[in-house]
A and B are shown apart, each in its own frame.
Chain A
Amino acid sequence: MSHNIYVYILVMAGVTYLIRMLPLVLFRREITSPFVKSFLYYVPYACLAAMTFPAILFSTASVISAVVGFAVALIAAYKEKSLLTVALCACAAVFVAERILEIVA
């Protein structure tokens, strides 16, 4: 590594913090535009959904176990289980699916 690792860390942390800080600090007025308000209301759902799918399919050792984990997480989330419960159910499902795949294969 020819570059200094601490400079890398400083750059990473600095850029990331500025992105988070500037809108919060500079933008204090109440937004009245219905379009902007609606846009901001939909942002987290669009963003989290885009990050989840299709990335989830390639997060585990095999696509099949990932699909099982995805399906179980969807069901648990639909039943409005807590964040941790949904996450653990998904992990358990992947684990079980991969053990079964091992036996079958």
Chain B
Amino acid sequence: MDIVSFRRGLKDGVPIGLGYFAVSFTFGMMAVSGGMSTWQAALISLTNLTSAGQFAGLDIILASGSYWEMALTQLIINLRYCLMSFSLAQKLRRDVPWAHRFVVAFGVTDEIFGVSASQEGKISPWYNYGAMCVAIPGWTLGTIAGGISGNLLPAFMVSALSVAIYGMFLAVIIPTAKKNRTVLGVVIGAMAVSSLFAVVPVLKKVSSGFVIIITTVVVAGIAALICPVKEEENAHES
């Protein structure tokens, strides 16, 4: 066990866990108001650990959609984790035993990936375990709290809490965008492309999961073609 990495993971996991609590609170609330029990909602959060996928999955369950539709929707919305896992596979120390990869994989979320990608050099799986030890309880307990008390919470609180997850995303991307012009271009480009999907009539029909995948592949691909990351630069910033 690598105590130093684990502690650092725990510390970086605290804001993630608190942010998750706020977001999953909304999930618990919506699931229970749709007719699910609090424990079923908590089981979804504990086993899925993903925001967009769960909200989409909830819609399908409540609409009694087919299992195929569920599988396909999860595949599309969560395909970004595939890209993140590829990236993380490179970031993990080479000497990490195989079995650890199965456990680290469970905790590949936007935020945990974000903090582990921002670590310097290679990382130990224990860093991810530390972050997961805070993030998973935060996400699950938030769902339970939302399920139990959500309907008691005034609408203005819900509205304010809904913005939390986006604040966290911005906190991950903006500091690097400030220092690296290409990353700034990637951020602005991705926002512009996903906005196109929200306003152009034909593109509007594309589901939100696909929008994220298409935008990510196109923008990151163009950036990699035009401005490949130089070795020394990569070592400094990733």
Binding site for B on A (CB under 8 A): 1-3, 5, 7-9, 11-13, 15-17, 19-25, 27-28, 30-31, 34-56, 59-61, 65-66, 69-70, 73-74, 76-78, 80-92, 94-95, 98-99
Contacts and interface: CB of A to CB of B under 8 A. Distances in A.
A43 B85 contact: no
Sorting the interface of chain B by its residue count into under 10, 10 to 19, 20 to 34 or 35 or more gives 35 or more
A48 B159 CA distance: 21
A26 to B, nearest CB: 9
Contact of B15 (A13, A28, A69, A82): A82
A16 B212 CA distance: 16
Given A35-B225, A61-B155, 20 more contacts: A1-B61, A1-B62, A8-B70, A19-B74, A28-B89, A30-B94, A38-B223, A38-B229, A41-B224, A42-B186, A43-B216, A46-B186, A49-B173, A50-B219, A54-B198, A74-B174, A77-B171, A87-B164, A87-B168, A94-B163
Contacts of B225: 35
B144 interface: no
Contacts of A69: 163, 166-167
B89 A23 contact: yes
B18 A84 contact: yes
Contacts of A11: 67, 70-71, 74
A59 B208 CA distance: 14
Chain A binding site: helix, strand, loop or mixed by DSSP?
A: helix
26 contacts: A7-B67, A9-B40, A15-B71, A16-B49, A19-B79, A20-B81, A20-B82, A21-B106, A24-B108, A38-B223, A40-B86, A42-B219, A42-B220, A46-B187, A47-B110, A49-B188, A52-B173, A52-B191, A54-B191, A56-B163, A60-B160, A66-B163, A73-B171, A80-B178, A83-B172, A87-B165
Contact of B87 (A1, A43, A84, A99): A43
Contact of B195 (A53, A65, A73, A85): A53
Interface of B: 14-16, 18-19, 22, 35-36, 40, 43-44, 47-50, 52-54, 57, 60-62, 64, 66-67, 70-71, 74-75, 78-90, 92, 94, 98, 101-102, 104-106, 108, 110-111, 113-115, 117, 155-157, 159-178, 182-183, 186-191, 193-195, 198, 208, 211-212, 215-216, 219-221, 223-225, 227-229, 234, 238
